[in-house]
Amino acid sequence: MSRRYRPVVTRPVPATMTLDSAMPALLRRIYAAREVTSAEALDTGLAGLVPVGAFAGLGPAVARLLEARLRGERVLIVGDFDADGATSTALLMRGLAALGFPAVDYLVPNRFETGYGLGPEVVELATLRQPGLLITVDNGIASVEGVAAANRRGIDVIVTDHHLPGDQLPDACALVNPNLPGEPFPHKHLAGVGVAFYLLAALARCLADRGEVDRAAPRQITAWLDLVALGTVADVVPLDHNNRILVAQGLQRIRAGRCSPGVLALLRAGGRDPTRASAADLGFAAGPRLNAAGRLTDMSVGIACLLTDDPVTAARLAGELDALNRERRLLEARMREEAETLVEALPVAASAQLPPALTLYRPDWHQGVVGLIAARIRERHHRPVVAFAPDGQGRLKGSARSVPALHIRDTLERVAVTCPGLIEGFGGHAMAAGLTLREGALDAFTEAFSAAAGERLEPSQLRGELLTDGELTADELSLETAEMLEAAGPWGAGFEEPSFQGRFEVLAAREVGSGHLRLTLATPGGAGRVGAIAFGCPVPWPLPGETVELVYRLQVNAWQGRREAQVLVEHLQPPGP
């Protein structure tokens, strides 16, 4: 959280709102600002999911899986080392076993040894397991060489992925990706685990139609929607209507305790109550602990946590992941401070005059944490950032994070086209990407990346505007409003949790924890008061009697059996003009 001055802008609301007038006016305004125009768009029942028949790429994949099941082939799932990849792997492991596949195993590339995706080195490792079929999850659409290596060994590959494809597609026996050219599936923002879920659902339906499994099998696949919800939220994909259904249904199962013991254990390790789990709990408690394994070691312990059906084992593994996450936090804090020093050392250190894109590198940075550093510096300086770390083999591994106005993967492609050979490999989304450079290419990349970003960005798009849903009245700063907003989700990327702005008098302020600030604020008009928490609040802190301008979220604070409204401060600054 920052005390730097930033422009605060209220989200525009259509002049005519088409939602039911019986809905509370505040909620109607919030939904309208997110372009929700019908009650159907708010329905999170399973019946609202886009049917599996709309996903054309599933046909060849299901056919090959049916063949593998009939032959009793060993199926090897090749995952990824983040939460999306871990949940995708666990989902297919559970689902394929339940659908009668006799031999299902998984292999997750090690970030530090083989790198991301189905590369030739990973195929070498996979061959030792003697699989008849490989299935990639959350990767593979860029694995042209890896799929070719598998083909040469007589191993078929089904690629399931959601990343944007490049000019050349791998020669797999099936490609399942909503973003493939010509794919009619209407919701392009599925996470990798969402793609895996659709594959399982299509397979279960086909087997049920053939009488090879129980007719209820397609419905039983929804038992693992907790994994789909966790992977979808943790991967920060936009929560369009289809993804909101997947997340809402997963949360419903988590709250009822009808989910994987590992998901419950991860939430509890993060101090969250699973019976009241929200998308934010998945994104800020369970997701980071799962990701910590892939960032610092390898993801095997995370997948084991998601696969176990024993609560005691799940709790033990979640404890290991929690310890890794604490280690990750310390490492991130040091690297973040060093990154800020690098930014301040640039020729022009005033944020408004920084280059349109930032490239950061230190030879002692950790590969698994550079993505977090890129995200933190992007948030602070409001421009695309690539952070690099050495891989120990003469190359730099980079992680890029962007601002909404710049499609980062397309920008990297522009650099690759204009400077052939500069980037050894890249891939990703609109907002995040990964890439590899030779160590000696950093300066040339920095210049080319900044130039490519500058061509696409206007200065106004780098101001770091804070979008809010306006102000709340004193009456609206209530537990009733907080509970209404909590129930109105799930909120997430592309369907942002409501935030508000306002000026408040500080009645009391004290430090809690390390660098966090507990406040008591006078409500507008001064008739009441409300508690607030500002995590990581930079000094100098506001003093009692001062007035501050806040951007905040209103949340339920449940503590020792009590429930009350609490202001969660996202941005704090002295009042502007």
User: Which tens digit of pLDDT belongs to each residue from 425-474?
Assistant: 898 888 899 999 999 999 999 999 999 999 999 988 888 889 999 999 99
On whether residue 190 sits in a domain, the answer given is: yes
Q: Do residues 436 and 501 both lie within one domain?
A: no
pLDDT of residue 2: 54
| Across 186-200, 354-368, 513-527, least confident range | 513-527
Q: Do residues 112 and 201 both lie within one domain?
A: yes
pLDDT (tens digit per residue) in 332-385: 999 999 999 999 998 764 445 789 999 999 999 999 999 999 999 999 999 999
Q: What is the CATH number of the domain that holds 135?
A: 3.90.1640.30
Q: Do residues 76 and 184 both lie within one domain?
A: yes
pLDDT of residue 564 exceeding 50: yes
Domain span holding position 385: 346-462
Q: Do residues 471 and 354 both lie within one domain?
A: no
209 and 169 Cβ atoms separated by less than 8 Å: no
Q: Which long-range contacts (CB under 8 A, 24 or more apart) does 414-419 make?
A: 414/452, 415/445, 415/448, 415/449, 415/452, 418/448, 418/452, 419/444, 419/445, 419/448
435 and 423 Cβ atoms separated by less than 8 Å: yes
| Across 154-158, 256-260, 512-516, 555-559, least confident range | 512-516
**Which one of 462, 486, 511 terminates a domain?**
462
Rounded mean pLDDT, 67-93: 96
On whether residue 258 sits in a domain, the answer given is: no
pLDDT of residue 570: 94
Q: Do residues 201 and 189 both lie within one domain?
A: yes
DSSP assignment of 316-331, as one string? Answer: HHHHHHHHHHHHHHHH
On whether residue 310 sits in a domain, the answer given is: no
pLDDT of residue 349: 46
101 and 252 Cβ atoms separated by less than 8 Å: no
pTM of the model: 0.93
On whether residue 269 sits in a domain, the answer given is: no
Q: Do residues 108 and 238 both lie within one domain?
A: yes
Rounded mean pLDDT, 43-61: 96
pLDDT of residue 416: 94
On whether residue 291 sits in a domain, the answer given is: no
Q: What is the mean pLDDT of the chain?
A: 93
227 and 86 Cβ atoms separated by less than 8 Å: no
On whether residue 14 sits in a domain, the answer given is: yes
Total tally of structural domains belonging to the chain = 3
On whether residue 340 sits in a domain, the answer given is: no
Rounded mean pLDDT, 474-486: 96
Asked if the peptide bond before residue 274 counts as cis, ω within 30 degrees of 0, the response is no
Q: Do residues 500 and 381 both lie within one domain?
A: no
Q: Do residues 478 and 452 both lie within one domain?
A: no
Q: What is the CATH number of the domain that holds 506?
A: 2.40.50.460
Q: Do residues 388 and 534 both lie within one domain?
A: no
Top pLDDT among 175 and 214 is at: 175
Rounded mean pLDDT, 69-87: 96
Q: Do residues 491 and 443 both lie within one domain?
A: no
**Which one of 441, 462, 483 terminates a domain?**
462
Q: Do residues 411 and 372 both lie within one domain?
A: yes
Q: What is the CATH number of the domain that holds 383?
A: 3.10.310.30
Rounded-to-integer distance, Cα 34 and Cα 553, Å: 16
Local confidence band at 553 (pLDDT 50, 70, 90 cut-offs): very high
Number of H helices, E strands in the chain: 18, 17
pLDDT of residue 18 exceeding 90: no
On whether residue 126 sits in a domain, the answer given is: yes
pLDDT of residue 503 exceeding 50: yes
pLDDT of residue 351: 47
**Which one of 184, 213, 246 terminates a domain?**
246
pLDDT of residue 577: 53
Q: Do residues 448 and 475 both lie within one domain?
A: no
pLDDT (tens digit per residue) in 297-325: 989 999 999 999 999 999 999 999 999 99
